[in-house]
Amino acid sequence: MGQFLPTDIIIGVDTHKHTHAAVAITGLGARIAELTIQVGRDGYRELEAWALSLGTVGAFGIEGTGSYGAGLVRALRDNGHVVHEVTRPDRQLRHQHGKTDHLDAEGAARAVLGGRARGLPKAGTRQVEMIRHLKVARDTAVKARTQAMLTLKAIIVGAPAALREQIEALTGKMTLIRSLAALRPGPITSTTASAKASLRAIARRWLDLDAEIKAHDAHLEDLVGRCAPTMIQAHGIKTGTAAEMLILAGDNPERIRSEAAFAKLCGVCPIPASSGKTSRHRLNRGGHRQANAALYRVVVVRMRAHQPTLAYVRRRTAEGKSKPEIIRCLKRFVAREIFGYLCGPRRGVSPENTAALFRSRPTAWCLRREAGPPERSPIAGAGGPAVRERRSPCSSAKLRLLNDHQPRRRPR
């Protein structure tokens, strides 16, 4: 509450498809007004005028900033207002206090006032938002193309014997698809004619989806090349992975406070899983799962053909680490490297020296320096972080960077 004055107004908004519910509270937590608006530019202007009429607006707390609240967020940010992203309300509090739209909006305002909602929403106004739109279209087209191919195979299996033998004589996927697209079923008077009509329609659909996917790939390659030209030069990181990471960071990567916060957002920060004499960490099951899957694909590629990664795998295997634990460490490395590409230059941390702030083993929390030259990072790709320091006492700045996923302990 220290960042707001008692006279400041905090607005909480619960967003829906057709209406938004808003509640205003003061810097002392007193509820003073509520409003319901229609979704649209007129409603956004009405909400802003209503908030300004109550006094000095300290901040807006909005639920669903990536879906129903995206338009409101853009309108408020364009007019210079501070907007915070509010996650879903606590279920225990909702069970105790009940559920209405204005109660949810009040909870959003109190989350901002209490400091629980500090995250900034994605801007969604520049090239990364374009990449997200094209990526959504491409992913759905890929799923539909896969379904079309599975349907073709299922119909061929049950087709009349003569037609099935004719089709099975064809070799090559594209040869098969083009032959099926060129079928002439004629009048639908037999099962053979109906099977041909079905196969021709699905094959033509497959060809249309394939052309659509290639067009999306070309646009994505151009946009990603302009947004992250250095990242796609790294080993194992190409257009698909780079697009997923750009979507994760958004058009305003400054909202990610540290490399540790980025790792937590990807779901690769270490989770303690120790018991008795066993001291270990496990994979994080939270975070952005598409980004986590992209990191996994990068690690798998590097474990096959990247010599520094292969050497690292052999060394950690000799130390008694299991393959899942080694993959966890490598995913943490790749997340650190990608953070350098996305956010390093803005923060004065280049991809070359990002890894120097952290140990190569993500299961440790502190850095200590020993005598001797720095050694190479086991996963650095082309242009990625190449140097990591040996262990040294943690400075307060480094501890702040690690604070996002460091376990907090209460004093005894």
pLDDT grade for 382, boundaries at 50, 70 and 90: very low
Residue of higher predicted confidence among 261 and 141 = 141
Per-residue pLDDT tens over the stretch 38-65: 999 999 999 999 999 999 999 999 998 8
Cβ distance 48 to 20 under 8 Å? no
pLDDT grade for 409, boundaries at 50, 70 and 90: very low
Top-confidence range, 7-16, 119-128, 363-372: 7-16
Q: What is the pLDDT of residue 328?
A: 85
Q: What is the pLDDT of residue 251?
A: 86
Q: What is the pLDDT of residue 345?
A: 53
Q: Is the pLDDT of residue 177 over 80?
A: yes
Q: What is the pLDDT of residue 114?
A: 87
pLDDT grade for 344, boundaries at 50, 70 and 90: low
Q: What is the pLDDT of residue 2?
A: 54
- Distances, alpha carbon 44 to alpha carbons 16, 36, 300, in Å: 13, 11, 47
Average pLDDT over residues 373-387: 45
Q: Is the pLDDT of residue 140 over 90?
A: yes
Per-residue pLDDT tens over the stretch 317-329: 999 988 988 998 8
Q: Say if pTM beats, i.e. exceeds, 0.85.
A: no
Query: How many angstroms separate the CA atoms of 119 and 102, rounded?
Result: 22
Per-residue pLDDT tens over the stretch 65-85: 888 989 999 999 988 899 999
Average pLDDT over residues 368-396: 41
Joined together, the tokens standing for residue 15 give 């967003």
Q: What's the burial of 174, exposed, middle or buried (CB within 10 Å: 0-12/13-18/19+)?
A: exposed
Per-residue pLDDT tens over the stretch 80-132: 899 999 987 767 767 777 788 888 899 899 989 988 888 888 888 889 999 99
Q: Which residues contact 199 (CB under 8 A, 6 or more apart)?
A: 152, 155, 156, 159, 167, 180, 183
Q: Which residues contact 16 (CB under 8 A, 6 or more apart)?
A: 39, 68, 101
207-212: long-range contacts (C-beta < 8 A, 24 or more apart)? 207/177, 207/178, 207/181, 209/141, 209/144, 209/145, 209/148, 210/145, 212/137, 212/141
Least confident of 29-33, 174-178, 367-371: 367-371
Q: Is the pLDDT of residue 352 over 50?
A: no
Query: How many angstroms separate the CA atoms of 211 and 218, rounded?
Result: 11
Average pLDDT over residues 391-400: 40
pLDDT grade for 277, boundaries at 50, 70 and 90: confident
Q: Which of 237, 253, 210, 238 is nearest to 334 (CA)?
A: 237
